[in-house]
């Protein structure tokens, strides 16, 4: 933020600096200030689709759903093949029925533009769960395609900072905001049971499902 503000001091009409400042502000949770920065970038360059899309994201975070939708529409008028804006336009909060009817074509459009767009594909898979017109085989095939996409993008983690000590017990933590009354909590029960059945492992479940 300091660097962006310094750039703006030097060149007040530097649209990209205002845009980047907005990105930094949103990342720090300063949403109102981020909105102001995005609007300043657009005042300088009204044809910046990225600024419109980012403005929509900040407005969505503020709960201003209709204003966010308007920003996404403007981004798409500027750049019709903007996959991220199609995805965000589908993702904005709405009533469940509206999500099914509106989000579906937006995610499909995002993937048609950018076939390896994992975020849009993940959102599409989520919507699949609520559509009665999708066969189990369709769901399975979509999930398999998503699996292939994620595998292609995954990079093995190799930067281990711990010292390898074969005799030391490995401590593994399962951390999620959804380990209570939530599908994730239910799904992980099988993993916990498998760990508990392994006599070489000691399972500590204190507070695990709180």
pLDDT at res. 106: 92
Residue entry with tokens 């990342």:
27
Residue entry with tokens 């909060």:
93
Q: Can you give the pLDDT of all 210 residues of the chain as single tens digits?
A: 999 999 999 999 999 999 999 999 999 999 999 999 999 999 999 999 999 999 999 999 999 989 999 999 999 999 999 999 999 998 765 555 666 777 889 999 999 999 999 999 999 998 887 888 888 898 899 999 999 988 988 888 888 787 778 888 777 777 887 777 788 888 888 887 887 776 555 555 444 444
d(CA 7, CA 125): 42
Query: Residues with Cβ < 8 Å from 59, sequence gap 6 or more?
Result: 35, 65, 67, 68, 71
pLDDT at res. 146: 93
In a domain, residue 160? The reply is no
For residues 2 and 73, state if they share a domain: yes
In a domain, residue 171? The reply is yes
Sign of CA dihedral 142, 148, 152, 155: positive
Query: Alpha helices, DSSP H only, in 92-178?
Result: 96-98, 104-113, 118-128, 136-153
pLDDT at res. 158: 81
pLDDT at res. 127: 86
**The last residue of a domain, from among 80, 112, 139:** 80
In a domain, residue 147? The reply is yes
**The last residue of a domain, from among 54, 80, 106:** 80
Which DSSP symbol is given to 45? -
Q: What is the pTM of this model?
A: 0.76
Q: Residue 4's Cα: distance from chain center in Å?
A: 25
d(CA 202, CA 198): 8
In a domain, residue 198? The reply is yes
- Boundaries of domain holding 132: 94-155
**The last residue of a domain, from among 80, 114, 138:** 80
């Amino acid at each position: 933020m300091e660097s962006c503000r310094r750039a703006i001091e030097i060149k007040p009409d530097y649209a990209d600096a205002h845009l980047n400042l907005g990105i930094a502000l949103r990342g720090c949770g300063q949403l109102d200030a981020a909105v102001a920065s995005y609007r300043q970038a657009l005042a300088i360059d009204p044809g910046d689709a990225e600024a419109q899309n980012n403005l929509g994201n900040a407005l969505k975070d503020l709960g201003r759903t209709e204003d966010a939708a308007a920003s996404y529409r403007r981004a798409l008028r500027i750049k019709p093949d903007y996959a991220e804006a199609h995805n965000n336009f589908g993702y904005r909060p709405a009533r469940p029925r509206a999500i099914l009817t509106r989000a579906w074509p937006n995610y499909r459009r995002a993937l048609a533009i950018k076939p390896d767009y994992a975020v849009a594909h993940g959102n599409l898979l989520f919507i699949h769960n609520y559509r009665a017109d999708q066969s189990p085989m369709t769901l399975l095939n979509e999930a398999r395609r998503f699996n292939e996409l994620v595998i292609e993008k995954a990079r093995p983690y190799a930067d281990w900072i711990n010292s390898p000590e074969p005799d030391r017990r490995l401590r593994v933590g399962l951390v999620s905001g959804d380990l209570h009354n939530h599908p994730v909590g239910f799904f992980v029960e099988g993993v916990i049971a498998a760990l508990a059945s392994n006599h070489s492992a000691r399972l500590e479940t204190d507070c695990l499902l709180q």
